[in-house]
Structure 1
Amino acid sequence: MDRLETLLKALVALAWLIASAALWWPAPAAAARIKEVASVQGVRSNPLVGYGLVVGLDGTGDQTTSTPFTAQSLAAMLQQMGVTVPPGTNMQLKNVAAVMVTAQLPAFAQPGQTIDVNVSSLGNAKSLRGGTLIATPLKGADGQIYALAQGNLIVGGAGASAGGSKVQINHLSAGRVPEGATVERSVPTPLNQGDTLQLDLNASDFNTAREVARAINQRMGADVALAVDGRVVRVRMPDAPGSRVAFMADIENLDINLAAPAAKVVINARTGSVVMNQAVTLAACAVAHGNLSVTISSTPQVSQPNALSTGGQAVVTEKADITIAQQAGSLIQMPAGTKLADVVKALNSLGATPQDLLAILQAMKSAGALNAELEVI
């Protein structure tokens, strides 16, 4: 009986250990798929742009005296509808705004399908809220019309003004028309052209190109894929168009093992942001950092003439005080760091602000202590 109880306790403990293993055992890293690291050459979206008019605004349209092209566009549109505006007529429009309409024509889009469009004010309209976009042809880079846009605008903002005061929430000079454009012309893609198809990697990496070619050859057969360089993988395609779609669906979901990226530190000089990946390492070095501040204060002074003088005038002069303060910076020894956590800990020990850290990282790179590529954006 005691032996049975001991066995049951052991089984319960083993089951609890297995159930709790998911909490403390590190999960394996998920492999990336080919569709996440590469794209098919030529299978992409195309930008479209057009010029149009938004009508129905509540007195928040363009001021025609400052934007004469709005009145010219309205006159041309009315003329196409059989309405002739007498020459020299000064149209005081308040409910019309000239806009630019942009959209992205996705790959494989066919005539009759709808796409979203963005509408942005071109003149000095105060708000596009409540407006309606009049039929606007959207053209591609070749000058051909690929879509026709029209519909009611959705503006994610609100505002009001009176007596010189103004309250505004979000942006009122741009809006969106969901499914507001109808595709009129399709763009041919190279999916069914030629015997091969080219996969373009999102980032140039020889190891990734080799892994993509290896995964395709293991699944689809030898000599199907060939890594041309660090960014291009050429794939031999089936002859039938239907087989090509199934072939691409299969290879897009193949898993590949990505190598660790090259060490890189990205610096945004405008915002003071510093981002580094896990491959960044630090060699042993010593850093001294101190702050230098210059303060200039100006005080206006008035020089009054003598009370008995007849031609004197009061003169305003300024007295400037300039102060330079420099804080002492001690020399801090930074140990070598082979992990990202060690690098972060060493940089935090300096106590520098993000703006100061930009100059420190550049100096460490010049001294050879920062083992990473430094990119300033």
Structure 2
Amino acid sequence: MKHVLKNGRTVYGWFATFVLVGLLLPTLSTGAVRIKDLAVVEGVRDNQLVGYGIVVGLNGTGDGSQAVFTSQGLANMLDRLGMQVDPQSLKVKNVAGVMVTAKLPPFMKPGQRIDVLLSSLGDAKSLQGGTLVATPLKGLDGEVYAIAQGPLVIGGTAPNPHLTAARVPDGATVERGVPVALQDRERLTLSLKTADFTTVRRMVAVIDQALGGGFAKARDGATVDISLPEAFRDRVVALVAELENLEVEPDLSAKVILDERTGTVVMGGDVKIGRIALSHGNLNLRVGGTQPSAPGSLLNIEDGTSLGEVVKALNAIGVAPRDMIAIFQSIKASGALRAELEII
């Protein structure tokens, strides 16, 4: 598709300033997707763990004297090891207090290991080279589910990495798992990751066809209840495995996401623009219809074009990302953009 400027030049729509990451599809269809990629079984989820820990072995980059909790935490740890010290007498430049967090996946068993993340709580300048000492990780119920310990890893290769956050790969040993009862159920519930009534309806139809009856029922736009067939009452895991590999064609809504910092446009589906005449600075944009001649560049685009083609045309004449976002906001406000607009 070509775009004709007022000066007579023909510009072919390739993007230069804005990076276009477009899911420019001929229809709103995305093709069949497995149910396991669209939904989760209710109750089968990660659980958040948290704990307060002490990092030792720092090269003078730890907390200063203002971090009273670090001195107190170190004194408490030494007390548990049989050494009584006055917290106020401790110098903690090689020690830092950290918040330790982790996700406990479902079905984890005692003895298995999970990653942990650490974030400095005091005024430590760097956690580089430190070691986390044994730290209990608790759930929101106050019970200990894992114990974390190990040398820290500072991620990133940037010239100025973030030195007050770190991780310990496989740094926590699970002490107890969170029970997930799948057996002895009469019903399973699938929760869509993104609510959509059309997708739910299609999912119900696919499940009923696979099970040979009316076993599935949509509770709302994000939930499907499935009555267990008699043949699967004692084989729920097998049923879940069968269900999650069924394929459903999700319905894709028209949406445009703009990132002003990186200059990225992401579009879902074939986003269309209605007829519009717009003037922005010395740029005059016309999509379909007619418009009187005006000073500046005239970007003339035929009726029924997609937003992706408009982006390419604007890039071809050097429209800046900030101006691009202002143009899209104006198009949306006029009602000509037939999609949801989100700016991040």
Give the TM-score, by structure 2 length: 0.79
What's the offset of the Cα at 1:235?
1.0
Corresponding residue for residue 371 of structure 1: 338
Q: Identify if the C-alpha distance between structure 1 residues 347 and 192 changes in structure 2 by more than 3 Å, giving closer, same or farther.
A: farther
Moved over 6 A (4+): none
CA distance in 1, matches of 2:248, 2:335: 34
Q: Which residue of 1 aligns with 2:45?
A: 44
Larger radius of gyration: 1
Describe how 1:30-41 pairs up with structure 2 within 5 A: 31-41=32-42
Note if 1:256 corresponds to 2:248.
Answer: yes
CA distance in 2: counterparts of 1:90 and 1:168, whole angstroms: 37
Tell me the CA shift for residue 350 of structure 1.
6.2
Q: Does 1:244 align with 2:244?
A: no
Q: Does 1:280 align with 2:247?
A: no
What are the equivalent positions in structure 2 for 1:324-343 lying under 5 Å apart?
329-330=296-297, 332-339=299-306, 341-343=308-310
Cα distance in 2 for residues equivalent to 1:41 and 1:268: 33
Q: CA deviation at 1:233?
A: 0.8
- Residue 174 (structure 1) aligned to one of 150, 158, 165: 165
Once the two structures are superposed, residues 57-116 of structure 1 have per-residue CA deviations (whole angstroms, 9 ceiling, x without a partner) of 2222222x22122111111111222211147x4322222111111100001112222111
Please tell me whether residue 127 in structure 1 is matched to residue 126 in structure 2.
yes
Partners in 1 of 2:211 and 2:303 — Cα distance? 47
CA contact (8 A) 1:138 1:147 kept: yes
Cα offset for 1:143?
Answer: 2.0
Most deviating of 360-369 and 345-354: 345-354
Tell me the residue number matched to 2:320.
353
1:260-294 superposed Cα distances (whole Å, 9 cap, x missing partner): x2211123355553322232101122222217xxx
Q: Secondary structure at the match of 2:194?
A: coil
Identity %: 52
**8 Å CA contact retained: 1:285, 1:333:** no
Residue correspondences, number: 303
- Does the 8 Å CA contact 1:227/1:233 hold for their aligned counterparts? yes
Q: Is the 8 Å Cα contact of residues 31 and 250 (structure 2) preserved in structure 1?
A: no
User: Structure 2: which 5+ residue stretches go unaligned?
Assistant: 1-29, 283-294
Alpha-carbon distance change, 45 to 289 in structure 1, aligned in 2, over 3 angstroms: same
Structure 1 gap segments, 5+ residues each: 1-28, 159-166, 292-327
TM-score (norm 1): 0.73
Q: What SS does the aligned partner of 1:170 have?
A: coil
**Cα distance change, pair 139–271 in 1 and its aligned pair in 2 (3 A):** same
Pairs within 5 Å for 1:202-217: 202-217=193-208
1:219 aligns with 2:210: yes
Question: How far apart are residue 234 of structure 1 and its match?
Answer: 0.7
Q: 1:227: how far off?
A: 2.0
Shift of 1:368: 2.2
- 5 Å-filtered alignment, 1:61-210, equals 61-63=62-64, 65-86=65-86, 89-156=88-155, 169-192=160-183, 194-210=185-201
Question: Cα 1:238–1:76, aligned 2, differ >3 Å: closer, same or farther?
Answer: farther
Aligned with 1:97: secondary structure? Answer: strand
Secondary structure of the residue aligned to 2:235 is helix
* Distance in 2 between residues matched to 1:36 and 1:335, nearest whole Å: 38
Question: Bigger shift: 118-127 or 236-245?
Answer: 236-245
Structure 1 pair 36–107 and aligned structure 2 pair: CA distance change class (3 A): same
User: Deviation of residue 347 (structure 1)?
Assistant: 4.0
User: 8 Å contact 2:260–2:321 — kept in the other structure?
Assistant: no
Partner of 2:6: none
User: In structure 2, what residue type is equivalent to 1:201?
Assistant: L
Q: Which amino acid aligns with 2:248?
A: I
What is the CA-CA distance between 1:144 and the residue it aligns to? 1.9
- Displacement of 1:374 in angstroms is 1.8
Q: 1:345/1:284 Cα in 2 relative to 1: closer, same or farther (>3 Å)?
A: farther
Q: Distance in 2 between matches of 1:207 and 1:119?
A: 42
